[in-house]
Amino acid sequence: MKQISVDDIRKDFPVLNQTINGRKLIYLDNAATTQKPNTVIKSIENYYKSFNGNPHRGAHYLSLKSTEIYETGRKKVANFINASSTREVIFTRNATESLNLLAYSYGMNFIEEGDEIVISIMEHHSNLIPWQQVAKSKKAVLKYLYTNEEGIITEEEIKKKITDKTKLVSIAHVSNALGTINPIKFIIDYAHSRDAKVILDAAQSLPHMKVNVKNLDVDFLVFSGHKMLAPLGIGVLYGKENLLEKIPPFLYGGDMIEYVYEDSTTFAELPHKLEAGTQNVAGVLGLTKAIDYLNEIGMDNIEEMESELTSYALEKLDSLSEIELYGFKGISNRGSVISFNVKDVHPHDTASILDAYGVAIRAGHHCAQPLMRYLGINATCRASFYFYNTKEEIDLFIESLKNVRKWLGYES
């Protein structure tokens, strides 16, 4: 691993260098959204100062410049995930919109009565509700992959649930609620052996590890820019070209057409067919700069740095008797997410108390109510790390955590 100074990295992130409630901010809510480096922030300012125009539309300098920035971003994303061509990269607002696009354009048109859709119990609501609605409307069957007592989806479970009737499997690469890394290569290969297509929700994996769509042979993949240093409001849908060719447009409007007549329309080629209306060029530029930043550090290094942080935090949390940990206990198959509770304390109280110490974590059901119900809990606290976090921050987080019960009137 090349020598990387986290102190230097942190200088690039203005948000991290401030005090909250009179204390140094410790930002451990990276699974919700990540902070942005100066290169991303400045690129957006620069875009609106110098290049703002409507892409794909005009013959003038600014419109051409915006088009160039937008399409350069598409190339950058295609390279980052190792897509075969830029025709396979569709820009959306976020992973949620990408999944809804697939549910409406793919699900509603290719799922038929009696077909089976398989998802997992740990899906985020955004990868659950769209399929629930498709199943309802098409009279298809929605099936869940459940975790075993170790918090893992076993090969046995996969073979049991994915059958010849399965048309589609949609699954999170890494669980946003528990941090579990799912056995996606096995799922993809097994689903393909049953002629089912696979959608990978990479919102919690792509920011933290190398994801290669060609090696995975995944059919569709979705992610959000804001969870990987890019601004809010830019997301991606990747799809194999032959599949994207088949699906009808999701939104109709400008820029996605060839010829429009009074009673009929022919649509543009990929990728434009699936991108209606004026697009978020500044968001794409921000995403481009974010990918440059991640590449500069190296995804392998990022994975290693975060794995070290996560195991350090896990060890510390595990040594506190008042902490209960949820989900998979080990470090080997885990992203940089830890779900826990403080004994006798509701997660919202824990989060409010930690906030007073400057520590930002998430509390709640993490948009995964069926998972919480399955685990027999109401809500959890979630600490999630990014490569810019430090062991010192984790120490302060642990020290603050030790005060929580005291604030609620417990003796220790």
348 binds another protein (CB under 8 A): yes
343 binds another protein (CB under 8 A): no
- Quote the CA–CA distance of 285 and 66 in Å, as a whole number: 9
Judged by CB, which is closer to another protein: 38, or 378?
Answer: 378
Residue 285 C-beta: closest distance to another protein, Å: 33
Interface residue with another protein among 133, 355, 370, 396 (CB under 8 A) is 355
378 binds another protein (CB under 8 A): yes
Interface residue with another protein among 49, 164, 321, 409 (CB under 8 A) is 409
Judged by CB, which is closer to another protein: 72, or 369?
Answer: 369
Interface residue with another protein among 356, 360, 374, 395 (CB under 8 A) is 356
327 binds another protein (CB under 8 A): no
- 8 A C-beta contact, residue 328 and residue 151: yes
| Other CB atoms within 10 A of residue 125 CB | 16
Judged by CB, which is closer to another protein: 159, or 348?
Answer: 348
- Quote the CA–CA distance of 385 and 292 in Å, as a whole number: 20
- 8 A C-beta contact, residue 350 and residue 342: yes
Interface residue with another protein among 303, 322, 349, 395 (CB under 8 A) is 349
- The torsion defined by the Cα of 156, 159, 212 and 232, in degrees rounded to 10, comes to -90
Q: Residue 242 contacts by C-beta under 8 Å, 6 or more apart in sequence?
A: none
316 binds another protein (CB under 8 A): no
Say how many CA atoms lie within 13 Å of 251 toward its Cβ: 19
Strands 235-239 and 220-224: antiparallel
Q: Helix or strand or coil: residue 34?
A: coil
379 binds another protein (CB under 8 A): yes
Dihedral class, residue 158 (left if φ above 0, else alpha if ψ from -120 to 50, else beta): alpha
Q: Tell me which residues are annotated as active site.
A: 367
Judged by CB, which is closer to another protein: 257, or 345?
Answer: 345
Q: Considering CB under 8 A, how many residues would be counted as binding another protein?
A: 20
Calculate the alpha carbon distances from 349 to 122, 211, 331, 345, 363 in Å. Answer: 24, 36, 27, 7, 9
Strands 116-120 and 141-145: parallel
Interface residue with another protein among 14, 17, 18, 21 (CB under 8 A) is 21
Residue 372 C-beta: closest distance to another protein, Å: 7
Interface residue with another protein among 251, 346, 360, 374 (CB under 8 A) is 346
Interface residue with another protein among 338, 347, 383, 397 (CB under 8 A) is 347
24 binds another protein (CB under 8 A): no
Q: What is the DSSP letter of 189?
A: H
303 binds another protein (CB under 8 A): no
372 binds another protein (CB under 8 A): yes
Longest dimension (CA), the chain: 75
Task: List interacting residues with another protein (CB under 8 A).
Answer: 21, 345-349, 352-353, 355-356, 363-365, 369, 372, 378-379, 407-409
